[in-house]
Amino acid sequence: MVHRITQIDAFSDRPFAGNPAAVCLLSEPGDPEWMQAVAREMNLSETAFLHPEGDGYRLRWFTPGFEVDLCGHATVASAHFLWEEGHLDESAEAHFETRSGRLTARRAGEWIEVDFPADPIETREPPAAASAALGTLPTLYARTGLYALAEVESESVLRALDPDLRALRELHPVGVAVTAIADGSEFDFVSRFFAPNAGIDEDPVTGSAHCSLGPMWGARLGKSEMTAYQASSRGGVVRIRLAGDRVILGGRAVSVMRGELLD
Q: In the chain, what is the straight-line distance between the N-terminal and C-terminal CA atoms, in Å? A: 5
Task: Tell me the pLDDT of the chain averaged across its residues.
Answer: 96
Residue 102: φ, ψ to 5°: -80, 130
User: What is the per-residue pLDDT across 218-234, written as a single tens digit (0 to 9) for each?
Assistant: 999 999 999 999 999 99
For the chain, give every residue range classified as CATH 3.10.310.10.
2-112+251-262, 122-243
Q: How far, in Å, CA of 166 to CA of 10, rounded? A: 28
Task: Measure Cα distances from 79 to 34, 40, 101, 185, 257 in Å.
Answer: 23, 22, 16, 30, 16
User: Which among 33, 41, 46, 202 is annotated as catalytic?
Assistant: 46
Q: Which helix (H) or strand (E) holds 243?
A: strand 236-243
Fold exhibited by the domain 122-243: Diaminopimelate Epimerase; Chain A, domain 1 (3.10.310)
Find how far residue 88's CA is from the centre of its chain.
Answer: 23
Q: Is 186 annotated in the active site? A: no
Question: Which ranges in the chain belong to alpha helices (H)?
Answer: 32-42, 73-84, 128-134, 155-160, 165-168, 210-221
pLDDT digits (tens, 9 = 90+) for 120-173: 999 999 998 999 999 999 999 999 999 999 999 999 999 999 999 999 999 999
CATH class of 2-112+251-262: alpha beta
Residue 1 is predicted with a pLDDT of 79
- Give DSSP secondary structure letters for 13-72: SSTTSSEEEEEEE-SSPPPHHHHHHHHHHHTSSEEEEEEEETTEEEEEEE-SS-EES--S
